[in-house]
Structure 1
Amino acid sequence: MEEELPLFYGESGKPVRATLSSLKMLDVGKWPIFSLCSEEELQLIRQACVFGSAGNEVLYTTVNDEIFVLGTNCSGCLGLGDVQSTIEPRRLDSLSGKKIACLSYGSGPHIVLATTEGEVFTWGHNAYSQLGNGTTNHGLVPCHISTNLSNKQVIEVACGSYHSLVLTADGEVFAWGYNNSGQVGSGSTANQPIPRRVTGCLQNKVVMNIACGQMCSMAVVDTGEVYVWGYNGNGQLGLGSSGNQPTPCRVAALQGIRVQRVACGYAHTLVLTDEGQVYAWGANSYGQLGTGNKSNQSYPTPVVVEKDRCEHFRSSLEDNEDDIVEMSEFSYPVYRAFLEYLYTDSISLSPEEAVGLLDLATFYRENRLKKLCQQTIKQGICEENAIALLSAAVKYDAQDLEDFCFRFCINHLTVVTQTSGFAEMDHDLLKNFISKASRVGAFKN
């Protein structure tokens, strides 16, 4: 069995889970932040967390359980005791001997880290007490946060822009930091300088997962219910309103739905249910909710994910094995373009190659692919290939493309009739072309 590594969090606050073997296969030397590291240094990397507004800071552990950092060191987020950038890895001695369980980056910026033993360390910007050490002084080195957490084992951490959450092994949530919109869940809007347990509706609940948006907080409990609090100007709390919520409130619109995990963007929220369904709500000016429009949503809205095209294609073959075509019948560019379409929903190839792909699309009744092929053919038509493309359109019953190619031939009739393609034109197609051209007046004096 592969050794499972801890969760590391990037700037978005989304977890990335990796295994030891997968990191061995990954060439981290291709990551810009590691470009100046030696091959020997790269071989020792066991875990890595890249963070910062431009992905220009990194904390990583080695196979020897040493912790190193490098990067721009914005607001002291490298934890080295200064704000000097470094292009060479420097050991983070203040965490010597610690094994990292999870880490979260707040865009303030600040860092919250939990060790495998459940201890919490914070450092970085602290103007709003987001480090939880009882002060507003910047933290240039990791500070152990023990107030109200001394007998707790923290298993998950999350950062908003200027506030922080941690989840303990017994299902309790503690919060601290900026609280102008109620994001620490205390019932007021006063900043919280030290960790305090979030109670209210969570008092007798066992929390399984936490997340932070810019100025809001979320928790999933063991019954699958979702509780939210904090800023709600874009409907990111999913309560059907835009009013802020100073204490945890259950998302009633998810009644009867068991949620497994919650994740937050800057001002929007996603949840995953135990049936694999995704719901989204909040800000949507960039289409981040995946609802097909750019309107904000204040209620959970199901994200309808198109069935994987590869799976659909595979299923169609299993349903009708007689329709299987040997790919060797097609050129490599056509085969490559077909795979590209299956995985990316787009194609990139020449008009002549698009004819071969049109053949494949017609055979498998992939109508959307047929349309993409026709668009490619239209964009690349010229006098020399016009007859060949017209022939293909007729052969594959692509009426719109046939009309387009025919009009092109009529508009360039003198040159087209002098091409080799016209000279080698199929007899029946030639008769039909001349008849149709005559009807539209192409041969009038």
Structure 2
Amino acid sequence: MRWFGFGFNAFGQICDRLNKAAGCDVTEEIKLTLPTELESSCCCSKIRGVRASWSRRVTVHEDGDSCVCVAGFAAASSCGVSVSLGCKDAFISEQHLTLAFPGRIETWDLQRKDKTPSWSTEINTQSGGPLLNLPLVPGGYIATKPPLFRSLSPHLKAKSLALGGEHAILLCATGAVYTWGLGSHGQLGHGDLTSEEEPRAVEALWGMTMSGVAAGGWHSVCISDGGDLYLWGWNESGQIGLPSRGLRKTMQQRSSQQAGALCQDADVKSDEEPQEGEKHEEVFISIQAFPALLDVTPSCEIRTVSCGSRHTAAVTTTGDLYTWGWGEYGQLGHQTLISSDEPQCVEFFREQQMRVVDVVCGTWNTFAAVVKEEVPSS
């Protein structure tokens, strides 16, 4: 399995800006519009998983004694944990790095050079139960801001958890979804803009079994057992896949600028036309306060999904990657800096005959895991 990254690269979190062999153009080192393969910076083993924040990424590698590596801002001096042998999972934020080992979990402060972790706990691996995926830990989860450990009721039977800018979305073993935190942009999915201090069930999804959740800066996503995608929250950049007034206005301004002075008369006539009679007006969505079903592609189901600050990426069961939302840093993978409120397939992987199997979004970038497409013999 190979990993590719695209989007924000100001700190070299996708590829080393000084490493020409990695395929990075120095003149476009901050905005990588072309998916670029990640190279291992600390060991020769293949990358098994990626987690990312705004300025850093952490990779978990495959070998007999698994290790993790930190890339990006001040990675070489990040609290002495650039390489940590025996680690099975990792979770990174701008301030903290959490590592999961067979018998313990520890969180390090990336802004300090302490010799010991900021928080740690022993875990029982003899029970035979499945290990929780970070940021979930036994009895609760690791937050991006202090207090680091937040408890969760065992009655929730947490299966996975995603943390947004100021909110959280939890998937229970029963398939139910709970959210809490800031709700000012409808990101909690309760039909209003109020915040919640404690986990509250998303009633609009009640009775439907969900299999995956993801959280962006101010939006949330979940996947049903049937492969359907539900999104809610802020849509300023089209990140929930609904028509965005701000985005369409930006696109129109860009088109007008490209048209130039010769098209000014035509533009005036176009602006006056709606006054002559009733015309179809598109409905724009700024905030979607309850889950909305998004038909990414009618031909297949959604396998996994991830959210950046203001963009979303989903992998289909056929191995295609679709992205939408804010694209100012090339994080949509369409080799442009254009944003979109409609899901579009990342053609690069199709053209390279690669099948996408996983996707992880950083705040302003995207990482995709691929395998070589098997071509049937004639």
Q: Look up the match of 2:133.
A: 102
Query: AA paired with 2:347?
Result: V
Distance change >3 Å, CA 34–CA 298, structure 1 → 2? closer
Say yes or no: does 1:87 pair with 2:114.
yes
Counterpart mapping for 1:34-73 below 5 A: 36=80, 45-47=86-88, 49=90, 51-53=92-94, 57-62=96-101, 65-72=103-110
Would the aligned equivalents of 2:58 and 2:69 in 1 still touch at CA under 8 Å?
A: no
Say yes or no: does 1:114 pair with 2:117.
no
Superposition CA RMSD, Å: 3.5
Shift of 1:14: 9.3
Picking from 299, 310, 333, the partner of 2:342 is 299
Would the aligned equivalents of 1:70 and 1:88 in 2 still touch at CA under 8 Å?
A: no
Shift of 1:290: 2.0
Counterpart mapping for 1:59-208 below 5 A: 59-62=98-101, 65-72=103-110, 85-90=112-117, 92-93=119-120, 95-97=121-123, 101-103=132-134, 113-115=135-137, 119-123=139-143, 125=145, 139-146=146-153, 150-200=154-204, 202-208=205-211
Picking from 207, 216, 220, the partner of 1:217 is 220
Q: Look up the match of 2:331.
A: 288
Distance change >3 Å, CA 152–CA 291, structure 1 → 2? same
Distance change >3 Å, CA 310–CA 22, structure 1 → 2? farther
Q: Which structure has the bigger radius of gyration?
A: 1
Query: AA paired with 2:132?
Result: A
The percent identity for this pair of structures is 22
Distance change >3 Å, CA 32–CA 182, structure 1 → 2? same
Structure (1/2) with the larger helix percentage: 1
Q: Look up the match of 2:231.
A: 228
Shift of 1:10: 3.9
CA distance in 1, matches of 2:298, 2:353: 34
CA distance in 2, matches of 1:221, 1:96: 34
Deviation string 1:189-218 (CA, Å, 9 cap, x unpaired) is 011110011121x22211111111110000
Distance change >3 Å, CA 43–CA 258, structure 1 → 2? closer
CA distance in 2, matches of 1:223, 1:37: 40
Distance change >3 Å, CA 8–CA 304, structure 1 → 2? closer
Shift of 1:124: 5.3
Q: Look up the match of 1:32.
A: 76
Detail structure 1 runs of 4+ shifted over 6 Å in the superposition. 12-17, 26-30
CA distance in 2, matches of 1:194, 1:167: 15
CA distance in 2, matches of 1:36, 1:292: 36
Structure (1/2) with the larger strand percentage: 2
Deviates more, 1:8-17 or 1:230-239: 8-17
Distance change >3 Å, CA 36–CA 22, structure 1 → 2? closer
Gaps of 5+ in 1: 1-5, 74-84, 104-112, 126-138, 312-445
Query: AA paired with 2:186?
Result: G
Would the aligned equivalents of 2:239 and 2:310 in 1 still touch at CA under 8 Å?
A: yes
Distance change >3 Å, CA 23–CA 198, structure 1 → 2? same
Distance change >3 Å, CA 18–CA 174, structure 1 → 2? farther
Would the aligned equivalents of 1:68 and 1:89 in 2 still touch at CA under 8 Å?
A: no
Query: AA paired with 2:223?
Result: V
SS of match in other structure, 1:90: coil
CA distance in 2, matches of 1:57, 1:163: 17
Would the aligned equivalents of 1:156 and 1:210 in 2 still touch at CA under 8 Å?
A: yes
Distance change >3 Å, CA 169–CA 250, structure 1 → 2? same
Picking from 243, 253, 256, the partner of 2:286 is 243
Gaps of 5+ in 2: 1-47, 126-130, 245-284, 355-378
SS of match in other structure, 2:348: coil
CA distance in 2, matches of 1:205, 1:181: 24
Counterpart mapping for 1:323-334 below 5 A: none
CA distance in 2, matches of 1:101, 1:215: 25
CA distance in 1, matches of 2:58, 2:180: 21
Would the aligned equivalents of 1:181 and 1:246 in 2 still touch at CA under 8 Å?
A: yes
Distance change >3 Å, CA 306–CA 72, structure 1 → 2? closer
SS of match in other structure, 2:241: coil
SS of match in other structure, 2:88: strand
Distance change >3 Å, CA 252–CA 90, structure 1 → 2? closer
Distance change >3 Å, CA 217–CA 299, structure 1 → 2? same
Would the aligned equivalents of 1:281 and 1:296 in 2 still touch at CA under 8 Å?
A: yes
Give TM-score scaled by structure 1 length. Answer: 0.51
CA distance in 2, matches of 1:266, 1:60: 23
CA distance in 2, matches of 1:208, 1:50: 20
